[in-house]
Amino acid sequence: MKSIYDFTLQELEEYFIKIGEKKFKANQVYDWLYKKRVTSFDEMTNLKKEVIEKLKQDFTMEELVVLAKQKDTDVEKYLFGLSDHQKVEAVLMHHDYGKSLCVSTEVGCNMGCAFCESGRLKKVRNLTPSEMVLQLLQIEKLSHLRITHVVLMGIGEPFDNFSNVMKFVEILKQPKGIELGARHITISTCGIVPKIKEFMNLQDQVNLAISLHAPNNELRNKLMPINKAYPLEVLIPTLKEYIEKTHRRLTFEYIMLKNVNDTEECAKELCELLKGMNCYVNLIPYNETSHFEFQKSDQKQVMKFYDSLKKNKINVTVRREFGSKVMAACGQLRSHHEEG
């Protein structure tokens, strides 16, 4: 039996027509689910009893189980248990511009980035749209806060679960539902070129972020196996096409790894690689874990790198550090629970 949270408004309209009911009932259900936030079909008091019974037969409203929660300054990390006893994480970050939720899209990840905790435990399966939606609904409920931004940068590669992710995004944007603006949603990918092309053809206003982390193929091959399939000479022209077609500014995520990708030479190569592109670079302090030897770059080195990009007219920011006192690395809380 599928979760009611897996369905877009259009799909629910089609469901009601199929069972001989008026399609406007889908609007009523969406209102109960996403505006009034009820957690049982019996609370949907403007639906006929027989309709409620039919919904109970056809759908579940099962929530995720909160297995653990950790809190630090301006950040809360949640570990959720799924119906098949798998586990995923979501992170709520408090920014001056609003409340941002980092959502997981898969159980584990097959991309195998050398520095990434969430990829250390291989992909078990895709998350369904409902399992992504419920991360948001339950954290809003538990925190008593309205989430204003969603980033798909948690466990998993979003474009490796493309159809479910795009359905999740549609549910997020639905004005009769969660009503989150497209420009407040960011999808991050390590660079799956065919899916980037598919995404750009949707003509959506959703933001795209590229996990780059290296300015040349030699280094990126070592850090990110995806680069062997889609090297920079394939990825970068695709991204230029994306910018030209969508007129959207692109974000490049760049985790700063001490004495690996934070050198002056790397900064020069990055400037050359991105020259002339409508983009900005987000320099990210590395969250160290016991499973990898990588270390975070010194603050002085980060600022030298930042200054090099600025001087070359590359828009650049340094992301504020979150969760230094919690298991902040993506997938770290999950792996801690999995491995005991």
* 3 pLDDT more than 60: yes
Q: Annotated active-site positions, please?
A: 89, 330
- State the amino acid at position 227 in one-letter form: N
**Average pLDDT, rounded, for the chain:** 93
Which residues, other chains included, contact 49 with Cβ-Cβ below 8 Å and sequence gap of 6+?
none
pLDDT cut 90: percent of the chain above it: 88
| Predicted TM-score of the model (pTM) | 0.93
Reported as a pLDDT band with limits 50, 70 and 90, residue 204 is: confident
Do 193 and 187 touch, CB atoms closer than 8 A? Answer: no
pLDDT cut 70: percent of the chain above it: 93
CB atoms within 10 A of CB 202: 11
- Position 53 scores a pLDDT of 98
More confident residue, 101 or 119: 101
Reported as a pLDDT band with limits 50, 70 and 90, residue 162 is: very high
- 74 HSE (CA, 13 A, CB side): 12
Reported as a pLDDT band with limits 50, 70 and 90, residue 322 is: low
Domains and CATH numbers, the chain: 2-60 (1.10.150.530), 65-339 (3.20.20.70)
- What is the tens place of the pLDDT at every residue in 54-89? 999 999 999 999 999 999 989 999 999 999 999 999
Reported as a pLDDT band with limits 50, 70 and 90, residue 287 is: confident
